[in-house]
Structure 1
Amino acid sequence: MRFAVYLPLLFPLLAALAARPLGERLPPRLATWLLTVAAVVLAAASSLVLGMLAITGLIRFPLLAELAHGRWSAQVAQHHDPASLSVGLLAGALLTAAATAAGVALWRRVRTLVAAAAEAACLPGPDELVVVEDPAAEAYAIPGLPGRIVVSTGMLEALDANEHKILLAHERAHLAHHHYLFVAVVQLAATANPLLRPLADTVTYTVERWADESAATVIGDRRQVAHTVGKAALAAKRARAHTWIPTAALGILGRFSQAGPGPVPRRVAALLAPPLRNRPLPLAGILAVLAASTVCAAEAAHDLELLLELAKHGASHR
């Protein structure tokens, strides 16, 4: 198989380098969609290439050809395939590890969504908004049918009435635009191909920026939204408690982690700056990478098909 087969394994590196600049320079809704689609396409292309390389390694073994009743010639396959046996075996090992990790991650994501839906259904009251008695400043949305918005009394006390509206507009945007699905899909792709981890990290940021911009549209004051985001983060930092928060939750403080509330200063700075516009050049660049990865994977599939035909033809003339 020719050199093009290896390119889909390298393109994720380019996407990883471009992920954060794209997340900072493109409108957050566009950046979220673009990076999510890019992660899926690049993960699929690299997995397909690993599978095809693994097949070229397997068909070299005479024992497998005999078990398949001599449907192909292992000698012909070895003669015509430029990829070495070690490359095929390494690709098979990597693909097995990636498939196992992706399967485990998918199972955990499904369990997380089910648990989130159950948690949302069990929260008290029929309303979308649920207020919990907790001095720690917390606010987050839980996906479900329907989704719920949980806000602590500590957060309500830290913000004024107008800031409450901004908070709720932010959390409603998370539910309305199904932001958790974007995060889950891109994290699953990054599990299948760890080189895509920067895309997953950037999407966790762009969904928060998307919700910030949605709140700014509802309220009509970007500066006020920036002030509220910063004020909520400071309140949470002062009164952070060990409160249990569902894994599926998304909130105005960003993805919850032990490291803190997330890149809030970048979000505040983005809200204080003019709204971002579409940039044709970076958009065209990432689309070109996706197209090239798809074409290379298709070319590799064609080469593999020709190799298998030669191996079958060799077997028929023995």
Structure 2
Amino acid sequence: MRIAVYLPLLLPLLAPLGARTLSERCEPRLATWLLTASALVLATASTISLGLLAITGLIRVPVLAGLGHWSLHTAQHDDPTELSVALVAGLLLGGAALTAARMLWRRARSLATAALQAACMPAPDDGLVVVEDETPEAYALPGLPGRVVVSTGMLHTLNTSERGILLAHERAHLAAHHYLFVALAQLGAAANPLLRPLATAVTYTIERWADEHAGTVTGDRVRVARTVGKAALAAHDTVARAPGAALGILGRRGPLAGAGPVPRRVAALLAPPLGRHPWLAAATVAILAAATLSTAEAAHDLNALLEAVGAS
């Protein structure tokens, strides 16, 4: 546990670079998968590493050492981890577990609320629900089945072709279960705050994924770009009220989104489509493999340590 246990704690420092590179250079669907997997794997690896470090401190507690029949002298001699490091790791582990549990509970409640609201809505064949509201807004509401909710204000803002683009975009969110990608990435970020850039990037790449789907359906990425900009301007002053916004299912766009992600999405649609860039995928997989192998090696080292102190 001299080096391997610390590597999963250092790799999340690469999250800002990875989030920016994948979201801006990689095809949105692949980027979403890689970003979400990175958040989950790195969060899991770093949490396990904290747990392993915390255990090295527990075996030095005289009461626990007596219960486990461990040799304190051997533990202090064979384990290079400082007791202060183990104590800090234990505190960080407790905080990570509490934060992740709270986020998971809140996310589960939000999904249940969204599903209940969707079940109470009319069930047309196309899944579209139109609400009488002059405020321009549109969002995807997950459920069994999900619904695409559009206000009359948004319908009046867009022409016929633009409405088709908007519906294709929102239906892509439901068909690809984008709310799950957002929830899983945010769970990883809750366990390890260093991974927040990855979770933020996922909320952007699912929008890009839905934009590209709309471009494929309509065959006109330039018109999709214009529709994205037009809908964002119309909804610029809208205050999010629906469960879909709380779930991170964008489609309803607030002022903060209009200040950054929307112009980037429009620019991406006006540029040539992004490729898959296998080297980016390979680099990401290599980093995740390094985190996984390092965690496994650290666990093996701890097991050897426990056998050594138990045999003394």
TM-score (norm 2): 0.95
Partner residue, 1:63: 63
Mapped contact 1:229–1:253 kept (Cα < 8 A): no
**Identity, % of aligned positions:** 63
SS at match of 1:60: coil
Partner residue, 2:287: 289
Q: Give 2:263's aligned amino acid.
A: P
Partner residue, 1:167: 166
Please state if 1:206 is matched with 2:230: no
Partner residue, 1:89: 87
Mapped contact 2:203–2:248 kept (Cα < 8 A): no
Partner residue, 1:16: 16
5+ long unaligned stretches in structure 1:
none
Q: Give 2:195's aligned amino acid.
A: L
Please state if 1:117 is matched with 2:115: yes
Partner residue, 1:311: 309
SS at match of 1:140: strand
**After superposition, what is the alpha-carbon deviation per residue over 1:253-308, rounded to whole angstroms, capped at 9, x for unaligned?**
45x5x634461000001011111111122222211111111111111111101101
SS at match of 1:3: coil
CA RMSD of aligned residues (A): 1.4
Please state if 1:7 is matched with 2:7: yes
2: CA distance between counterparts of 1:50 and 1:249? 29
2: CA distance between counterparts of 1:149 and 1:274? 29
**After superposition, what is the alpha-carbon deviation per residue over 1:89-117, rounded to whole angstroms, capped at 9, x for unaligned?**
11011000100111111111110110000
Q: Give 2:141's aligned amino acid.
A: I
* 1:125 shift after superposition: 4.9
2: CA distance between counterparts of 1:148 and 1:39? 28
1: CA distance between counterparts of 2:143 and 2:122? 14
1: CA distance between counterparts of 2:251 and 2:242? 13
Partner residue, 2:192: 193
Mapped contact 1:226–1:267 kept (Cα < 8 A): yes
1:255-294 alignment to 2 at 5 Å? 259-261=256-258, 263-294=261-292
Mapped contact 1:59–1:65 kept (Cα < 8 A): yes
**CA separation of 1:82 and 1:171: change in aligned 2, threshold 3 A:** same
* 1:243 shift after superposition: 5.4
**CA separation of 1:125 and 1:309: change in aligned 2, threshold 3 A:** closer
SS at match of 1:277: coil
1: CA distance between counterparts of 2:225 and 2:191? 36
Partner residue, 1:153: 152
Partner residue, 2:177: 178
TM-score (norm 1): 0.93
5+ long unaligned stretches in structure 2:
none
* 1:62 shift after superposition: 1.4
Say which of 279, 300, 303 aligns to 1:302.
300
Which runs of at least 4 in structure 1 moved beyond 4 Å after TM superposition?
none
Mapped contact 2:229–2:263 kept (Cα < 8 A): yes
Q: Give 1:174's aligned amino acid.
A: H
1:33-48 alignment to 2 at 5 Å? 33-48=33-48
* 1:4 shift after superposition: 2.1
SS at match of 2:256: coil
2: CA distance between counterparts of 1:86 and 1:155? 58
**After superposition, what is the alpha-carbon deviation per residue over 1:215-271, rounded to whole angstroms, capped at 9, x for unaligned?**
11110111111111011111112xx344522122624345x5x63446100000101
2: CA distance between counterparts of 1:106 and 1:232? 32
**CA separation of 1:103 and 1:109: change in aligned 2, threshold 3 A:** same
1: CA distance between counterparts of 2:309 and 2:120? 60
Please state if 1:235 is matched with 2:254: no
2: CA distance between counterparts of 1:134 and 1:110? 28
Partner residue, 1:134: 133
2: CA distance between counterparts of 1:163 and 1:186? 31
SS at match of 1:213: helix
Partner residue, 1:245: 242
Mapped contact 1:28–1:206 kept (Cα < 8 A): yes
Q: Which moved more, 1:289-298 or 1:175-184?
A: 289-298
Mapped contact 1:124–1:130 kept (Cα < 8 A): yes
